[in-house]
Structure 1
Amino acid sequence: MASEKSIVNLLQQRAKDTKTKIKVAYVLGKLKNKIPGNMQGKVIEKLLKFSSDENAKVRYASVFALKSLYEGFSANEREKINERLYDLCTDKNKGVLLNVKEFIKKLNFESRIAEKILILSKSPYPRRRSKAIAIFKNTRTLIPRGLIDEVTKSTSKLCSDELLVVRMAAVKEIKYDSGVLVNTQEKLTNVLLNACSDRRWIVRYNAVKAICSQRDNFHGEILNKIFEILLNLCSYEKWEVRFSAVNSIARMKYVIPYGVRDKIILKISQVSKKDTNRIVKESAKTALERLQKI
């Protein structure tokens, strides 16, 4: 058991610089089951503070320490860590996220993460709905197969959210993951097609990119509908959307239905000659070359 005095000395260190914070976190993490019960709260408080530090290395060290100490803490202290884990699932640093995912696996919390996403996605508060999408984005590979369909359906509903930032993020995360049922996949496709006519251009832009990235999941009549929408977006007022549409058509060249190929080539040819934006014109020229080689 570590002495109370040694732990107090650690906690009282003026950890203002990054190196000191990292050192304190790692030293605390190595104590494991040696922290007295009356000191657990203070240790947790210090590490949770580090876990929201602006420096990714400090956050990484704090996750390491929390993961190492978790089993030795009381139930109340563990619950504080559990709540912080949800926040850490939205971290933008890959190293921190990897550490967090390992922590989740160690605790067998995959189902709890899925349940948290479901709760947040139905919240009346926009910030919480946005958080649901961020967690889903970073932990979707951890979600149990039996829950992925329900979580996907719940988050896809946010594609029609009243708040732009929520819709924008939700559309980007539309994916046909393994475990998503066929009828849900059909709903996802309709969600993406509807997003292509959203009143805000950035949502349309994200919808086009999402369609392109999922191109192998579309078949039959739905492909005709998709290319019809993409062709219309080639004339959209915002050049970013036109660029995305042209680029996506080129990337989807191997799934173009036979009956619309000539129509697509004609449209892309017109864009390459008449578009007012240089980037779109150049993209259309490249797309035309790729399409004509099929």
Structure 2
Amino acid sequence: MNPLDLLLDPLGYDFMTRALATALVASVVCALLSCWLVLIGWSLMGDAVSHAVLPGVAIAYLVGAPFALGAVVFGVLAVALIGAVRDTSRVKEDAAIGIVFTTLFALGLVIISVVPSQTDLTHIIFGNLLGVSSADLLQIAVLAAIVFAVLIVKRRDFTLFAFDPTHAHAIGLHPRLLGAILLGLLAMTSVVALQAVGVILVVAMLIIPGATAYLLTDRFGRMLVLAPAIAAVCAVVGLYTSYYLDTASGPMIVLAQGAAFALAYLFGPCQGLIATRLLARRRARSATRSRTRARGSGSVA
């Protein structure tokens, strides 16, 4: 089988075409948002919100309401509860996040466990990329388009908020409002990625691409290009690998992202472990040579 057949053979199935479209859309929008999450330091908050939306999604599924509505409601509820526990008790923010998101996640699991047996909601937890229907793909595309548009339109405000909230407030922006908008987008993005990887692995798609791009460049503008590009490539590689190795699609995409991060961590031209070690050795050798030359010139004098 030639390389072209390897590329085109999976696309002969409608479910693979929908899966590829879903994986690309989810990966790109998650990667774009991940740039701000990594920059602000909201990795743990991303984990919290992505898990806390589970009961909202489950309830919305049962009553026939849009997934995004349930996700946003419980995402906002989670953030409000975290803030309340943090501000009204001695519990610190990281502990408050752990308490709230695990409790809401457990509530979602309970709701799923008591629904009628003919309703299968396990795909919310583990993802069901190969089972995405045309209607699901349309909903994912609409939500992703909304998130993408808001991030692009407000990118300057979000970036200033991430770097210096005090300066953002001084020039007339509202850091609290910007933070709330980002958290709302985080909840919507979690719904976009649910079909691809499920609640458990959503946080990986929300963090790994941004962290990988962060190791490859010092400019935020480049991060906004690199992260989605890396995520898109990983989506294609992961999906095709799962097809030919007969493995789970969502986890394979996350594994591909993890492999990309490992490569950037080890071999990145600027921040890679090997590059920094080599640079440190070169500087040490240069310093040694300079000292040797200085001693030699001093003895001659």
With normalisation by structure 1, the TM-score equals 0.27
With normalisation by structure 2, the TM-score equals 0.26
Larger Rg: 1
Structure with the largest fraction of helix: 2
